[in-house]
Amino acid sequence: MSAPFVLFRDDVAGHDLLFESPAEIIVAETADAFFPAMDALERARRAGKWLAGYFSYEAGYLLEPKLRPILPEGRRTPLVCMGVFTQPSERTLPTPSPATNGPIFEARAAWSESDYAERFARLHQHLRQGDCYQGNLTFPVRAQWSGTPLSAFEALVERQPVKYGALVSLAGPAVLSRSPELFFDIDAEGWIETHPMKGTAPRGRTKAEDERQKRFLRNDEKNQAENRMIVDLLRNDISLISEVGSLDVPELFRIETYPTLHTMVSRVRAKLLPDLTIERIFAALFPCGSITGAPKIRAMEILRQLEAVPRDAYCGAIGWVSPTGPMRFSVAIRTITLHENGEAVYNVGGGVVFDSTAEEEYAECLLKARFATGTVPASG
């Protein structure tokens, strides 16, 4: 396949969804272009077209009027980048070939442990003052990449199989995602489901140690509290666009296992109000509370002061919209932006609560960064 295209890959189910040859690419680089782009997306959907691509994290500043004045400058990915397609093709995945070594290399975290500790202390002061009760503090990891975006994507598949893998090669830099987290899925009957992911533990070196790590995570009050905060936040967000009495939490604190870590996942489900536009859905839900903190707006204001550069595609949403109602977006974590100059950028972060420590949170961030190279990045 050749650009422009959007590829979604479910390694667990063993199939992918490919969008090729867009009739149009709808892109908003600036704040002034954002809402006209949202209108264009809605017109295309109502005209019977499929949409596929991504929203950058900073689009959330525009969807919330209180945050528009603090929209970060210096963004390197579009606020929204979506292709307009006739339909996708679905296919069964071939047996994966052995992973290619080294498509992402020379990785270095932008913050040293002391850099992180300084910002952690400022965030923790906000927690002590009651300004917020969780903040998802993140920072970039900068690396180099080689080959093509597709070869880089395929090289990472075997390292960490996920349900929501994606590669967007439309306009601007390519965006490669190995996300395990569902932002939301809307089915043909108008039911929406979201799977907030919060709480992690490293894999054990032996089977017995691995089981101990899973039990620890499942029963740890701190991780449960972090997860429950985000569940409550998402329940509130979804309630803005769902039918009264339909909201449910069918599952709390399920443990999912990946090659480098265990993570805690819950489920929130509701029946949507009829005839919602894409803009209204995103205005209620975006960005996902699992990557902001709570309360969402205040957490985003605080994080804007602490994080030196825009998150760009990281912590945004990658997905597709069908003309008949269903749509699915992942949370753009474990996501790498591949720039044409050979630079690769992927952020890492985690939820900070009152009883968090800077040392443990920074170590967790570096653990999460292993998805790209298989090793912890150099620091600072």
The model's pLDDT over 13-64, given as tens digits with 9 standing for 90+, comes to 888 999 999 999 999 999 999 999 999 999 999 999 999 999 999 999 999 9
Q: What is the mean pLDDT of residues 207-236?
A: 92
Express each pLDDT in 312-352 by its tens digit: 999 999 999 999 999 999 999 999 999 999 999 999 999 99
For Cα atoms 167, 171, 175, give the angle at the middle one, nearest 5 degrees. Answer: 25
Q: Which of 179, 194, 8 is nearest to 83 (CA)?
A: 8
Q: Which runs of consecutive H residues, i.e. helices, occur in 47-148?
A: 59-63, 113-129
For the domain made up of 5-379, the CATH class stated in words is alpha beta
Q: Looking at residue 91, what is its pLDDT?
A: 76
Q: What are the extents of the domains in the chain?
A: 5-379
Q: Is residue 292 within 8 Å of 350, Cβ to Cβ?
A: no
DSSP secondary structure code for residue 86 in this structure: S
Q: Is residue 242 within 8 Å of 192, Cβ to Cβ?
A: yes
Q: Looking at residue 284, what is its pLDDT?
A: 98
The whole-angstrom separation of Cα 81 and Cα 85 is 13
pTM (predicted TM-score)? 0.93
Which tokens is 66 given?
Answer: 């209180």
Q: Which of 181, 250, 262 is nearest to 220 (CA)?
A: 262
Task: For 171-229, give the DSSP string.
Answer: SSSEEEEEE--EEEEE-TTSEEEE--EEEEEEPPSSHHHHHHHHHHHHH-HHHHHHHHH
* Terminal CA-CA length for the chain: 38
Q: Is the per-residue pLDDT at 93 higher than 70?
A: no
Express each pLDDT in 158-171 by its tens digit: 777 899 999 999 98
pLDDT interval class at 95 (50, 70, 90): low
- Say whether 378 sits in a helix, a strand or coil: strand
Q: What is the mean pLDDT of residues 282-301?
A: 96
pLDDT interval class at 102 (50, 70, 90): low
H or E element at residue 318? strand 317-321
Residues with catalytic roles? 181, 198
pLDDT interval class at 153 (50, 70, 90): very high
Close Cβ partners of 157 (under 8 Å, ≥ 6 residues apart): 9, 11, 96, 99, 165, 178
Q: What is the mean pLDDT of residues 265-294?
A: 96
